[in-house]
Amino acid sequence: MLRRTLRPRVLALPTVAFVVALGALWALDDPARPASTPAVNPVDLIQRGNAELQRARETADPAHYASAETMFGQALRRDRRSVDATIGMATLALARHDFRRGLRYAQRARRLGPHLARPFAVLVDAQIELGHYEQAGRSLQQMIDLQPNLASYARVSYFRELHGDLTGALRAMRLAVSAGAAVPENVAYVQTLLGDLQAMRGQTAAARRAYTLALSGVAGYVPALAGRAQLDGATGHLQAAIRGYADVVRRRPLPQYVIALGEIQQAAGRPADARETFALVDAERRLLAANKVNSDVEIALFEADHGDHARAVDLARRAWRAAPSVRAADAVSWALERFGRPGDALGWARRAVKLGSQDPLILTRAGLTARAAGHAGEARRYLRRALRANPHFSVLWAPRARNALRGLR
Amino acid sequence: MSRLATVLAVVALALALLAGDASAHPLGNFTVNHLTNVAVSDDGVQLRYILDVAEIPTFQARKQSREHVLARARQEVARRLNVSVDGHRVVLRDAGPALLSFLRGQGALNTTRIELPLRAAVTGAHVVLLRDGTYPDRIGYTAIVAQPGTGTAVRSSVPSQDPTRGLRTYPPSTIQRPLDQRTATLTVRDGAATLVAPRLDGSDTVTTRSGAGDGFASVFENAAAGKTTLVLLLLAALGWGALHALSPGHGKAMVAAYLVGCKGTSRHAVVLGVVVTITHTIGVFALGLITLLLAQSVLPETLFPWLTLISGLLVVAIGLGVLRSRVGHHRAQRSHHHLDEHRHAHGTSHAHGHTSHHHGHTSHHHGHSHDMPDTITRKSLIAMGAAAGLIPCPSALVVLLGAVAQHQVGLGLLLIFAFSIGLAATLTALGLLVVHAHRLPIRLAVPKRLLSALPAASALIIVGLGCAIALQAAPKLL
């Protein structure tokens, strides 16, 4: 009788019913499922998606990416050939550092709207991030011919900066500022970039003015506050820099700001504070991974300088595979150097500076790598270039570059 | 089989309540979200300031003690949450225990949740202005929600609806259009607890009357204000409890499956109902007490998962117990038959030694073949009822805490008791229904084999339900 009771056939029915009921419930109770789907046209959806992207820009909050994706996805389901929704998807992919996907969307947007300037913005960004510099240069020329505006001038400036043409980059960024834009944040953004370029050239007063202008356009504009803190740090006002970065981190705890704060704290002889600050970077690494944002270059450099060298190599390699840019090459090179393999690192360092970069941080790292690999002449060249534009570019790195150069003489 | 379907449907309903929401902070890991509930009554302005801090800002404050975190929030509110009545700024005082809790968010990091009940004693207010200037440079969802207050008719510039349910969920609409509502104007006249407020989408106005919107909790507010007599109130609590038991998650499925599994009688159903009443009352009291003791540091949200887990494990144990007793029963029957045959085979040589045994055995066997054994012991019945009543519903807890906040503890306890009786009445009625429906399959001549499988199947359902409850709690505790 017991055996009959527990016969699988008899038990199967309630068990299956139970499982089905469970499954149905969980499906019905899905909180992500919208309660009702109102009729929305693609234009509204694209506008809302772009608003989300702009909000993500302003707040640096990756959670906005998810809702932007929903909007653009819905718009594309309603109109598969929508140029703007495709551009939106490209922007989203780039924001998430999925550059190949970004490039595919950008190319598709370009095909859907062959006479439009808008798709070029995402196309150029994707090409630069993926290290397709020659193609990026050609796309950029077409873009600026079609529409010389803030977006195209800012990209021209970055392109020139990458190629070591700081004077040309400054000129283009001034044009971007004077071109203006409807959204105040966009203007503040290029004003801040102008300040960064001026700071890189050692034009401290001009840089400070640019940051102040950005802040008068958008009160509390965080990148400009960070620029000011960076200036304070580079000019040796460490306490002011710590205060400035602490304020920035309180407002927008982005990894790059948190790392900068920790490094200034280290430089100011406050290692306990720096450790606390770096713990936050680690928490953010986990959160960004959970949000599928892959900001490997920044985190890889952080791991190389302050964390786990093996992890740094792994992260940098993955960053290179995702986007073989000069920035990724710099990260791989530095991670390998710190890992104790300067010989392997040197090739990557050469890739990082091959465009003629004048970025003092990249040049210092390349110089230190070349020195460790035993190439004294090459190391001297990189280190001199790092210190040429501005001998006080960083409170942490400029002394290291100077010491290394002195040791090489 | 229709009974089984009913049981499954109830199981399904119970699980609907338990299905938790995703732990990801929907408005992002950088945000500081705050919401102010405001009600103007004839003797003052009541506020409830709710703060929901996402993972990164919570992590940034990780070295601060709970007291410090709470003190910082209080300081921010004292400085930047301004209420002015007819042009004069008023002082806000605590109107109950502040709650602080750390809830598990993304990336194994915590989020912070704080609730501050505040109050300004003002009579004869005409225009109340509220300005929430807290956390000006942090991004996040900011909202003000108006509620009706006793003895007033209020016209509000802000909606009375709150899609976030007190910053607990962020539906897609709030993400698509993040609110930054920082000011509210409330014009006040004498009235009967009414509120005219715009709809959430700003299209139209809607009138809310106190008591219509928030069920039992607002009934209580009326009582505290002395608008309803005690008897009416207790009746209301009773009826509300009875209705509330129909909402998912009050162990109906467990009770039903248990009574089916054990072939319970009407008496069992009634006893079960009584036990549920007692445990539910005790459960709410205990949780209320714990909440009050931990008022400075813990929110009920953090306690619920533990209670759910304990309850789930208890149900699993009971289910296994029922299953074992069914199995044991069948095994006993089989072994009796076997013994009989054995005895016959060797009867001649051992006849004398077995005679008395034989007699006793036969009568025992008799009992089995004519009547199912009473596997419902007092102990298991109480355990089952305790499990069903152990998960106190938040709605009841709200009533108790509301009573405590308004210094009406005695009334609150009484109301909870009435509420529990109503709850148990429904459960008992359901139990009786199940017990009587139990006889249906015989009349409908369902195959005997299927009928004998039912108790074991329902025991398995009890086990499955217990597992499901325990598993629901698990992710919130990890």
Q: How far apart are CA A302 and CA A333, in angstroms?
A: 13
Residues 6+ positions from A163 with CB-CB distance below 8 Å: A133, A355, A356, A357
Instruction: Please answer yes or no on whether A253 and B22 come within 8 Å at the CB atom.
Output: no
User: For A31-46, how does the pLDDT look when each residue is reduced to its tens digit (9 = 90+)?
Assistant: 333 333 444 678 888 8
Å between B271 CA and nearest CA of chain A: 28
At residue A230, does pLDDT exceed 90? yes
**By the CB < 8 Å criterion, does B63 face chain A?**
yes
Most B-contacting residue of A15, A16, A18 (CB-CB within 10 A), to test interface: A18
Q: How far is CA B328 from the centre of its chain?
A: 36
Phi/psi of residue B47, each to 5°? -125, 150
Adjacent-strand bridge partners of B142: B34, B180
Phi/psi of residue B377, each to 5°? -90, 165
Adjacent-strand bridge partners of B48: B37, B117
At residue B364, does pLDDT exceed 60? no
A218-232, A358-372, A383-397, B210-224: range with lowest mean pLDDT: B210-224
Instruction: Please answer yes or no on whether B138 and A61 come within 8 Å at the CB atom.
Output: no
Mean pLDDT of B124-133: 92
At residue A351, does pLDDT exceed 90? yes
Nearest CA in chain B to A46: B176
pLDDT band at B357 (very low <50, low <70, confident <90, very high): very low
Say which of B30, B55, B59 has its CB closest to residue A59: B30
Å between B343 CA and nearest CA of chain A: 21
Enumerate the residues of chain B whose CB falls inside 8 A of the CB of residue A287. 29, 55-56, 106-107, 109
Q: How far apart are CA B262 and CA B431, in angstroms?
A: 12
Do the beta carbons of residue B266 and residue B435 sit within 8 Å? yes
Enumerate the residues of chain B whose CB falls inside 8 A of the CB of residue A70. 172
Instruction: Please answer yes or no on whether B178 and A55 come within 8 Å at the CB atom.
Output: yes
How large is the angle between the packed helices B230-244 and B409-437, nearest 10 degrees?
A: 40
Do the beta carbons of residue B391 and residue B307 sit within 8 Å? yes
**By the CB < 8 Å criterion, does B333 face chain A?**
yes
Q: How far apart are CA B89 and CA A200, in angstroms?
A: 50
Do the beta carbons of residue B97 and residue B296 sit within 8 Å? yes
How large is the angle between the packed helices B300-370 and B378-390, nearest 10 degrees?
A: 150
The SS3 call for residue A64 is helix
Instruction: Please answer yes or no on whether A11 and B464 come within 8 Å at the CB atom.
Output: no
The SS3 call for residue B370 is helix
Do the beta carbons of residue A322 and residue A97 sit within 8 Å? yes
ipTM, 2 dp = 0.70
| Secondary element (H or E) of residue B82 | strand B81-85
Instruction: Please answer yes or no on whether A5 and B139 come within 8 Å at the CB atom.
Output: no
pLDDT band at A316 (very low <50, low <70, confident <90, very high): very high
Q: How far apart are CA B16 and CA B29, in angstroms?
A: 28
pLDDT band at A273 (very low <50, low <70, confident <90, very high): very high
Give me the pLDDT at residue A79, please.
Answer: 87
- What percent of chain B clears pLDDT 70, i.e. is strictly above it? 51
Query: Exposed e or buried b for every residue in A124-146, given b needs 16+ CB within 10 A?
Result: bbbbbbbbbbebbeebbeebbee
Give the number of other CB atoms < 10 A from CB of residue A216.
12
Token pair in block for residue B233: 């109130």
Enumerate the residues of chain A whose CB falls inside 8 A of the CB of residue B11. 18, 21
